[in-house]
Structure 1
Amino acid sequence: MISSRPALTPRQTVLSVMAGAVLWFLAALLLKVIGPMGAYEGINMVILYVLVIPVTVPFIPLVRTVAGLAHDQTALGIAMATAAAALLDGLALAWAPGLYGTETAYVAGAGATILWGAGVAIVLGFVMNRAS
């Protein structure tokens, strides 16, 4: 069924983008801490990528609530949040790599993990999108 309301209101768009920015920043800080613990080495990287999936799941309804999204707006709202996170990741990797760590391996590992998480969030946004 096609909805008669706009895809996202300006308020929903701004709140989705802000939620994505906050979640990106918190993830960046977490990744900076776990990098030196070996998170990006060998099997630990596989475990990290697997853990990103269940850890991301609760953030979908959180963003939906924060942005006031209807269930059928989930995919678009999460895409907006994820776009903000991916853009900030790109900016940080280029101009503030120290946010992710002091060594190239930590910066690369954190940046890659953020991009993986962005993909996971978009997929989950579509999976959790439902007609209202």
Structure 2
Amino acid sequence: MTARHTQVSVAIGFSLWLIGLLYIRFAGPLGAFEGWGAVASYVLVWPLTALSIRIGQRVAGLGNSGVVRFVTVAGVTAMLLDAILLRFLPALYHADAAIRLDGAVWLIWGFATAFALALAMQRD
């Protein structure tokens, strides 16, 4: 990966982190992590993650041979932000601890999905 690829990957990781935070904060209280809302939230992670990977590849100018590295850099960026902020500024995600916990579990699902898709998309 070049420096530009890394910079784009970090920027996309930051963007996805912000989207996840906003989803937890605003969709969580509306039932995004309960009943059918949870089913929809978890199912939609797959196509939206695949789309995000494809957009990231195009913006970064990476082919399928760099997808695992791209997802790793973007994912690590988002995970580090989540880990730090969930620990030290948890109310940023939501004041309700149950919504934060459900959101954190959803984030883990998203990260696992991204890494699984990256492995499936990788072409050497």
The secondary structure found in structure 1 opposite 2:32 is: coil
**Is residue 2:99 matched to residue 1:106?**
yes
TM alignment of 1:1-132, pairs within 5 A = 8-131=1-124
Say whether the 8 Å CA contact 1:36–1:106 is kept in structure 2: yes
User: Aligned partners of 2:14 and 2:31: how far apart in 1?
Assistant: 26
User: Aligned partners of 1:76 and 1:109: how far apart in 2?
Assistant: 28
Deviations 1:82-124 (A, max 9, x none): 1111111111111121221110011111122112101111111
Over the residues paired in the alignment, what is the CA RMSD in angstroms?
1.5
Say whether the 8 Å CA contact 1:100–1:111 is kept in structure 2: no
Higher helix share: 2
Say whether the 8 Å CA contact 1:24–1:114 is kept in structure 2: no
Q: Which amino acid aligns with 2:70?
A: G
Structure 2 unmatched runs, 5+: none
The Cα shift of 1:43 comes to: 4.3
Say whether the 8 Å CA contact 2:13–2:75 is kept in structure 1: yes
The secondary structure found in structure 1 opposite 2:84 is: helix
User: Aligned partners of 1:59 and 1:19: how far apart in 2?
Assistant: 9
Say whether the 8 Å CA contact 1:29–1:99 is kept in structure 2: no
TM-score where L is the length of structure 2: 0.90
Q: Name the larger-Rg structure.
A: 1
User: Aligned partners of 2:36 and 2:22: how far apart in 1?
Assistant: 22
The Cα shift of 1:50 comes to: 1.7
Identity %: 35
The secondary structure found in structure 1 opposite 2:105 is: helix
Say whether the 8 Å CA contact 1:78–1:122 is kept in structure 2: yes
What is the count of residue pairs matched by the alignment?
Answer: 124
Q: Which amino acid aligns with 2:2?
A: T
The Cα shift of 1:44 comes to: 3.0
TM-score where L is the length of structure 1: 0.85
Structure 1 unmatched runs, 5+: 1-7
